[in-house]
Chains A and B, each alone.
Chain A
Amino acid sequence: GAGVSQSPRYKVAKRGQDVALRCDPISGHVSLFWYQQALGQGPEFLTYFQNEAQLDKSGLPSDRFFAERPEGSVSTLKIQRTQQEDSAVYLCASSSGSGIELFFGSGTQLSVL
């Protein structure tokens, strides 16, 4: 596609439910990032992939958060046993390399009730 695509656009989950957020990066982009954006705040880094390798997951808030990119293209961010503090917009971004312009998707807005 022309840009980074994320689905679903909105997700409402009951506390304790598992959710899966999908990211389709720009074709050919080797680098893929996940960021979390709380209301009224700037995005915060969660994790980074280069192709299928997860090179950095230092930003993941807890072991309930898990990300994968098995074939080096589409990525899924999974949150287990969601809690209210997980409510945020989850942004995916891709780039052709490190330090290069990031292209962001429109995000998935997660609301945990």
Chain B
Amino acid sequence: AQKVTQAQTEISVVEKEDVTLDCVYETRDTTYYLFWYKQPPSGELVFLIRRNSFDEQNEISGRYSWNFQKSTSSFNFTITASQVVDSAVYFCALSGVNDYKLSFGAGTTVTVRA
């Protein structure tokens, strides 16, 4: 069975602060994918990143960065210099490499105040 835990339910920050979202996962698969999705108030889930379990290199994309640590089964997401437009619910998800189902965490609501 696969399980994704996002322990933080809500995070509120002031604009320009950094915010880190925690994600811990459980899987019996030896190879898997990890994802982050953003869900703005409009409702659609927006894909942010997919990481293969073989690749532990950290990744940076603009103000977003991801820290994958296989030893602790964590895939944390940091938004640097947050902006009001970053306000959304963020979901971490997991799937097997040969699987099509995504297992989502419960999500973390990020509120960025001006």
Instruction: Give A contacts to B, CB under 8 Å.
Output: 3-4, 31, 33, 35, 40-45, 48, 56, 59, 89, 91, 93, 98-99, 101-107, 109
Contact = CB atoms under 8 A, between A and B. Distances in A.
Contacts of A35: 102
Interface in B55-106: 91, 93, 95, 97-106
B47 A103 contact: yes
A42 B43 contact: no
Nearest to A4: B44
A106 B107 contact: no
Nearest to B46: A104
Contacts, number: 58
Given A42-B107, A98-B99, 6 more contacts: A3-B44, A41-B107, A44-B104, A56-B100, A56-B101, A99-B97
Q: Please classify the interface of chain B as helix (H, G, I), strand (E, B), loop, or mixed, using the class held by over half of its residues.
A: loop
Nearest to B42: A106
Interface of B: 4, 33, 37, 42-47, 50, 91, 93, 95, 97-107
A107 B47 CA distance: 15
B100 A48 contact: yes
Interface core residue of B4, B43, B107 (most chain A CB under 10 Å): B43
A104 B45 contact: yes
8 contacts: A41-B107, A42-B91, A43-B45, A43-B104, A48-B101, A91-B45, A103-B47, A107-B43
